Amino acid sequence: MQCALCGKAKEVNITRPLCGECFLKDYESRIRRLIQREKLITPQDRVLVAVSGGKDSLSCAQVLYTLGYSIAVLHVDVGVAACTNPRTRNVVERFCEERDIPFYFLSFSEYLGVDMDEFFRKARRPRCATCGMLKRYVFNRFARENGFTKLATGHCADDIARYFLKAWVSGSKESFLWLEKLKPLTPSLHPRVVARIRPLFFSLEQENYAYTKFRGIVVAGCTMCSFFLRKDSWTEMLHRIEEVRRDFALAVARTLARQPEKGEANDTFQECRICGEPTNREICAVCRVRERCSPLTPTGRSGRQGGMTQEAR
Protein backbone atom coordinates (compact mmCIF):
# COMPACT_ATOMS: atom_id res chain seq x y z
CA MET A 1 0.00 0.00 0.00
CA GLN A 2 1.22 3.49 -0.85
CA CYS A 3 1.30 6.72 1.16
CA ALA A 4 -1.86 8.71 0.46
CA LEU A 5 0.13 11.96 0.16
CA CYS A 6 3.39 11.21 -1.65
CA GLY A 7 3.03 7.72 -3.14
CA LYS A 8 5.93 6.18 -1.20
CA ALA A 9 5.51 2.91 0.66
CA LYS A 10 3.21 3.37 3.66
CA GLU A 11 4.70 2.94 7.12
CA VAL A 12 1.59 3.57 9.21
CA ASN A 13 -2.15 3.26 8.59
CA ILE A 14 -4.21 4.77 11.40
CA THR A 15 -6.67 7.16 9.78
CA ARG A 16 -5.08 6.74 6.33
CA PRO A 17 -1.90 5.16 4.90
CA LEU A 18 1.14 7.43 5.27
CA CYS A 19 4.89 7.16 5.08
CA GLY A 20 6.84 8.25 8.15
CA GLU A 21 7.80 11.65 6.75
CA CYS A 22 4.25 12.52 5.68
CA PHE A 23 2.85 11.24 8.99
CA LEU A 24 5.07 13.63 10.96
CA LYS A 25 4.16 16.58 8.74
CA ASP A 26 0.45 15.76 8.92
CA TYR A 27 0.45 15.21 12.71
CA GLU A 28 2.33 18.41 13.47
CA SER A 29 0.43 20.57 10.98
CA ARG A 30 -2.94 19.46 12.42
CA ILE A 31 -1.82 20.44 15.91
CA ARG A 32 -0.39 23.74 14.66
CA ARG A 33 -3.73 24.58 13.02
CA LEU A 34 -5.61 23.69 16.22
CA ILE A 35 -3.34 25.93 18.33
CA GLN A 36 -3.79 28.81 15.92
CA ARG A 37 -7.54 28.35 15.40
CA GLU A 38 -8.38 28.03 19.10
CA LYS A 39 -5.68 30.50 20.23
CA LEU A 40 -4.32 27.93 22.66
CA ILE A 41 -0.97 29.74 22.93
CA THR A 42 -0.18 33.43 22.47
CA PRO A 43 3.27 35.00 22.17
CA GLN A 44 2.96 36.28 25.76
CA ASP A 45 2.21 32.85 27.27
CA ARG A 46 4.56 30.82 29.44
CA VAL A 47 3.59 27.19 28.90
CA LEU A 48 4.15 24.38 31.40
CA VAL A 49 3.73 20.84 30.04
CA ALA A 50 2.84 18.11 32.54
CA VAL A 51 4.84 15.04 31.47
CA SER A 52 4.50 11.60 33.04
CA GLY A 53 6.92 9.86 30.70
CA GLY A 54 4.19 8.19 28.65
CA LYS A 55 3.60 8.49 24.91
CA ASP A 56 0.83 11.12 25.12
CA SER A 57 2.52 13.67 27.39
CA LEU A 58 5.89 13.24 25.69
CA SER A 59 4.21 13.70 22.29
CA CYS A 60 2.61 16.89 23.61
CA ALA A 61 5.96 18.26 24.80
CA GLN A 62 7.75 17.21 21.60
CA VAL A 63 5.22 18.69 19.19
CA LEU A 64 5.11 22.04 21.04
CA TYR A 65 8.92 22.08 21.06
CA THR A 66 9.07 21.19 17.34
CA LEU A 67 6.55 23.92 16.48
CA GLY A 68 8.81 26.46 18.16
CA TYR A 69 6.88 27.24 21.34
CA SER A 70 8.77 28.08 24.51
CA ILE A 71 7.88 25.45 27.11
CA ALA A 72 8.98 23.98 30.43
CA VAL A 73 8.27 20.46 31.68
CA LEU A 74 6.97 19.31 35.07
CA HIS A 75 7.33 15.67 36.15
CA VAL A 76 5.89 14.43 39.45
CA ASP A 77 6.53 11.41 41.64
CA VAL A 78 3.00 10.29 42.51
CA GLY A 79 4.15 7.79 45.12
CA VAL A 80 3.17 4.67 43.16
CA ALA A 81 6.13 2.68 41.85
CA ALA A 82 4.17 1.30 38.90
CA CYS A 83 3.45 4.86 37.76
CA THR A 84 6.55 6.89 38.59
CA ASN A 85 10.00 5.70 39.60
CA PRO A 86 13.65 6.62 38.97
CA ARG A 87 13.39 5.32 35.40
CA THR A 88 10.42 7.51 34.46
CA ARG A 89 12.15 10.52 35.97
CA ASN A 90 15.38 9.76 34.11
CA VAL A 91 13.52 9.37 30.80
CA VAL A 92 11.74 12.74 31.17
CA GLU A 93 14.85 14.51 32.46
CA ARG A 94 16.94 13.14 29.58
CA PHE A 95 14.25 14.20 27.10
CA CYS A 96 14.46 17.77 28.43
CA GLU A 97 18.25 17.77 28.62
CA GLU A 98 18.59 16.76 24.96
CA ARG A 99 16.32 19.65 23.90
CA ASP A 100 17.44 22.23 26.46
CA ILE A 101 13.92 22.39 27.93
CA PRO A 102 13.62 23.59 31.57
CA PHE A 103 12.81 20.57 33.76
CA TYR A 104 10.98 20.64 37.10
CA PHE A 105 10.44 17.73 39.46
CA LEU A 106 8.35 17.38 42.60
CA SER A 107 7.15 14.64 44.92
CA PHE A 108 3.55 14.34 46.11
CA SER A 109 4.73 12.92 49.42
CA GLU A 110 7.14 15.78 50.12
CA TYR A 111 4.67 18.40 48.97
CA LEU A 112 1.74 17.07 51.00
CA GLY A 113 3.86 15.98 53.95
CA VAL A 114 2.10 12.61 54.18
CA ASP A 115 2.78 8.98 53.33
CA MET A 116 1.21 8.36 49.93
CA ASP A 117 0.10 4.81 50.71
CA GLU A 118 -1.88 6.22 53.63
CA PHE A 119 -3.22 9.09 51.51
CA PHE A 120 -4.45 6.75 48.76
CA ARG A 121 -6.01 4.46 51.35
CA LYS A 122 -7.84 7.24 53.19
CA ALA A 123 -9.03 8.94 50.01
CA ARG A 124 -11.73 6.23 49.77
CA ARG A 125 -11.79 6.33 45.99
CA PRO A 126 -9.99 4.39 43.21
CA ARG A 127 -6.24 5.02 43.18
CA CYS A 128 -6.23 6.41 39.63
CA ALA A 129 -9.06 8.83 40.52
CA THR A 130 -7.11 10.00 43.58
CA CYS A 131 -3.98 10.43 41.48
CA GLY A 132 -5.94 12.53 38.97
CA MET A 133 -7.31 14.72 41.76
CA LEU A 134 -3.80 15.30 43.13
CA LYS A 135 -2.35 16.08 39.70
CA ARG A 136 -5.01 18.70 38.99
CA TYR A 137 -4.31 20.31 42.36
CA VAL A 138 -0.51 20.24 42.18
CA PHE A 139 -0.18 21.10 38.48
CA ASN A 140 -2.36 24.18 38.85
CA ARG A 141 -0.64 25.38 42.01
CA PHE A 142 2.87 24.81 40.68
CA ALA A 143 2.09 26.52 37.36
CA ARG A 144 0.58 29.57 39.08
CA GLU A 145 3.30 29.93 41.71
CA ASN A 146 6.01 29.73 39.06
CA GLY A 147 4.50 32.29 36.71
CA PHE A 148 3.16 30.03 33.96
CA THR A 149 0.06 31.24 32.13
CA LYS A 150 -0.94 27.99 30.38
CA LEU A 151 -0.84 24.38 31.55
CA ALA A 152 -0.63 21.81 28.74
CA THR A 153 -1.56 18.14 29.18
CA GLY A 154 -1.40 15.17 26.83
CA HIS A 155 -5.12 14.36 26.88
CA CYS A 156 -6.10 13.02 23.47
CA ALA A 157 -9.29 11.99 21.64
CA ASP A 158 -9.32 8.54 23.26
CA ASP A 159 -9.30 10.14 26.72
CA ILE A 160 -12.15 12.46 25.73
CA ALA A 161 -14.19 9.51 24.44
CA ARG A 162 -13.62 7.58 27.69
CA TYR A 163 -14.75 10.60 29.74
CA PHE A 164 -17.86 10.79 27.57
CA LEU A 165 -18.65 7.08 28.05
CA LYS A 166 -18.26 7.41 31.83
CA ALA A 167 -20.62 10.39 31.92
CA TRP A 168 -23.14 8.66 29.66
CA VAL A 169 -23.19 5.46 31.73
CA SER A 170 -23.36 7.34 35.04
CA GLY A 171 -26.38 9.35 33.94
CA SER A 172 -25.17 12.13 36.22
CA LYS A 173 -26.16 15.66 35.23
CA GLU A 174 -23.06 16.95 36.98
CA SER A 175 -20.85 14.72 34.81
CA PHE A 176 -22.42 16.04 31.62
CA LEU A 177 -22.09 19.63 32.82
CA TRP A 178 -18.41 18.95 33.40
CA LEU A 179 -18.11 17.59 29.86
CA GLU A 180 -19.26 20.90 28.39
CA LYS A 181 -16.00 22.44 29.64
CA LEU A 182 -13.85 19.65 28.18
CA LYS A 183 -12.45 21.41 25.12
CA PRO A 184 -9.03 22.16 23.61
CA LEU A 185 -8.91 25.25 25.83
CA THR A 186 -10.33 25.54 29.34
CA PRO A 187 -9.97 29.23 30.23
CA SER A 188 -9.27 30.47 33.73
CA LEU A 189 -12.41 31.29 35.72
CA HIS A 190 -10.59 32.35 38.89
CA PRO A 191 -7.39 34.37 39.52
CA ARG A 192 -5.77 31.30 41.10
CA VAL A 193 -6.70 28.91 38.27
CA VAL A 194 -4.28 28.55 35.33
CA ALA A 195 -5.86 28.08 31.90
CA ARG A 196 -5.48 24.54 30.53
CA ILE A 197 -4.76 23.56 26.96
CA ARG A 198 -5.02 20.15 25.27
CA PRO A 199 -3.06 20.33 22.00
CA LEU A 200 -3.67 16.61 21.31
CA PHE A 201 -7.46 16.94 21.64
CA PHE A 202 -8.02 15.65 18.08
CA SER A 203 -5.14 13.15 18.05
CA LEU A 204 -5.52 9.42 18.70
CA GLU A 205 -3.48 7.29 21.10
CA GLN A 206 -2.22 5.24 18.17
CA GLU A 207 -1.05 8.43 16.46
CA ASN A 208 0.77 9.57 19.60
CA TYR A 209 2.48 6.18 19.86
CA ALA A 210 3.52 6.36 16.19
CA TYR A 211 4.76 9.93 16.70
CA THR A 212 7.11 8.87 19.52
CA LYS A 213 8.42 6.06 17.33
CA PHE A 214 9.06 8.20 14.27
CA ARG A 215 10.65 10.92 16.42
CA GLY A 216 12.80 8.37 18.25
CA ILE A 217 11.45 9.33 21.69
CA VAL A 218 12.11 6.94 24.58
CA VAL A 219 8.89 6.33 26.55
CA ALA A 220 8.56 5.13 30.15
CA GLY A 221 4.97 5.60 31.22
CA CYS A 222 2.77 4.21 33.97
CA THR A 223 2.34 0.43 33.66
CA MET A 224 -1.12 0.76 35.20
CA CYS A 225 -2.20 3.08 32.35
CA SER A 226 -0.08 1.54 29.59
CA PHE A 227 -1.33 1.72 26.00
CA PHE A 228 -0.63 -2.01 25.72
CA LEU A 229 -1.40 -3.24 29.26
CA ARG A 230 -4.45 -1.19 30.24
CA LYS A 231 -7.46 -3.46 30.82
CA ASP A 232 -10.09 -1.14 32.30
CA SER A 233 -13.71 -1.57 31.20
CA TRP A 234 -13.92 1.91 29.62
CA THR A 235 -11.02 1.21 27.26
CA GLU A 236 -12.49 -2.18 26.40
CA MET A 237 -15.86 -0.53 25.69
CA LEU A 238 -14.18 2.08 23.49
CA HIS A 239 -12.30 -0.58 21.52
CA ARG A 240 -15.47 -2.57 20.94
CA ILE A 241 -17.29 0.48 19.64
CA GLU A 242 -14.38 1.30 17.36
CA GLU A 243 -14.61 -2.17 15.83
CA VAL A 244 -17.88 -0.94 14.34
CA ARG A 245 -17.19 2.81 14.16
CA ARG A 246 -13.48 3.34 13.61
CA ASP A 247 -13.61 7.11 14.05
CA PHE A 248 -15.74 7.06 17.22
CA ALA A 249 -13.18 8.75 19.50
CA LEU A 250 -12.50 11.52 16.99
CA ALA A 251 -16.23 11.98 16.37
CA VAL A 252 -16.88 12.39 20.12
CA ALA A 253 -14.02 14.88 20.48
CA ARG A 254 -15.22 16.93 17.49
CA THR A 255 -18.80 16.95 18.75
CA LEU A 256 -17.85 18.08 22.26
CA ALA A 257 -15.53 20.77 20.89
CA ARG A 258 -18.42 22.23 18.85
CA GLN A 259 -20.90 22.31 21.72
CA PRO A 260 -21.40 25.80 23.16
CA GLU A 261 -21.12 26.16 26.92
CA LYS A 262 -24.58 26.70 28.38
CA GLY A 263 -23.22 28.17 31.58
CA GLU A 264 -25.04 25.63 33.75
CA ALA A 265 -21.93 24.16 35.32
CA ASN A 266 -21.09 25.30 38.83
CA ASP A 267 -18.06 27.56 38.34
CA THR A 268 -18.41 29.39 41.64
CA PHE A 269 -15.09 29.16 43.45
CA GLN A 270 -14.02 30.07 46.93
CA GLU A 271 -10.62 29.60 48.50
CA CYS A 272 -9.91 26.56 50.65
CA ARG A 273 -9.80 27.50 54.32
CA ILE A 274 -6.62 25.44 54.79
CA CYS A 275 -4.46 25.83 51.69
CA GLY A 276 -6.09 28.75 49.86
CA GLU A 277 -6.56 26.88 46.58
CA PRO A 278 -9.79 27.33 44.55
CA THR A 279 -12.61 24.96 45.51
CA ASN A 280 -16.40 24.87 45.55
CA ARG A 281 -16.39 23.85 49.24
CA GLU A 282 -15.01 25.32 52.43
CA ILE A 283 -12.17 22.78 52.39
CA CYS A 284 -10.81 21.37 49.11
CA ALA A 285 -10.78 17.63 48.36
CA VAL A 286 -7.01 17.31 48.81
CA CYS A 287 -7.01 18.95 52.23
CA ARG A 288 -9.98 16.88 53.40
CA VAL A 289 -7.97 13.70 52.78
CA ARG A 290 -4.76 15.23 54.05
CA GLU A 291 -6.39 16.07 57.38
CA ARG A 292 -7.19 12.38 57.86
CA CYS A 293 -3.52 11.40 57.42
CA SER A 294 -0.68 11.41 59.92
CA PRO A 295 2.10 13.92 59.15
CA LEU A 296 5.44 12.46 58.16
CA THR A 297 8.03 12.20 60.91
CA PRO A 298 11.15 14.34 60.38
CA THR A 299 13.45 12.22 58.21
CA GLY A 300 14.85 14.87 55.95
CA ARG A 301 11.53 15.14 54.10
CA SER A 302 9.26 18.12 54.37
CA GLY A 303 6.68 18.33 57.13
CA ARG A 304 3.00 19.14 57.08
CA GLN A 305 3.49 22.41 55.23
CA GLY A 306 6.18 20.97 52.96
CA GLY A 307 7.09 22.67 49.73
CA MET A 308 7.94 21.50 46.24
CA THR A 309 11.40 20.59 45.13
CA GLN A 310 12.38 21.74 41.69
CA GLU A 311 15.24 21.57 39.30
CA ALA A 312 15.54 23.77 36.25
CA ARG A 313 17.99 23.62 33.44
Residue 185 counted as domain residue = yes
Has residue 12 been placed in a domain? no
Q: What is the pLDDT of residue 84?
A: 75
Q: Please tell me the predicted confidence (pLDDT) of residue 298.
A: 55
Q: Which amino acid belongs to residue 72? A: A
Note whether residue 24 is domain-resident. Answer: no
pLDDT at 297: 63
pLDDT value for 267: 61
Q: Does some domain include residue 216?
A: yes
What is the identity of the amino acid at 163?
Answer: Y
Band of pLDDT at residue 170, cut at 50, 70 and 90: confident
Q: Give the mean model confidence (pLDDT) for residues 9-30.
A: 97
* Residue 177 domain-assigned (yes or no): yes
Burial status of residue 63 (CB atoms within 10 A of its CB: 0-12, 13-18, 19 or more): buried
pLDDT at residue 142 in the model: 95
The answer to whether residue 297 sits within a structural domain is no
| pLDDT value of position 79 | 82
Residue 36 lies in a domain: no
Indicate if the pLDDT at residue 312 is higher than 50: no
pLDDT at 283 over 90: yes
- For 133, the domain range is 44-222+233-290
Per-residue pLDDT of 65-124, as tens digits, reads: 999 999 999 999 988 876 778 899 999 999 999 999 999 999 998 888 889 999 999 998
How many domains does one find in the chain?
1
Highest mean pLDDT among 152-166, 194-208, 286-300: 194-208
Per residue in 231-252, pLDDT (tens digit) is 677 788 888 888 888 899 999 9
Q: What is the mean pLDDT of the chain?
A: 88
We report the CATH number of the domain holding residue 128 as 3.40.50.620
Q: 302 pLDDT exceeds 60? A: no
Q: pLDDT tens, 174-193?
A: 776 777 778 999 999 899 99
Flag whether 33 is in a domain: no
Residue 128 has pLDDT above 90, yes or no: no
Determine the pLDDT at residue 15: 93
User: Which CA distances in Å does 277 have to 63, 186, 269, 286?
Assistant: 31, 18, 9, 10
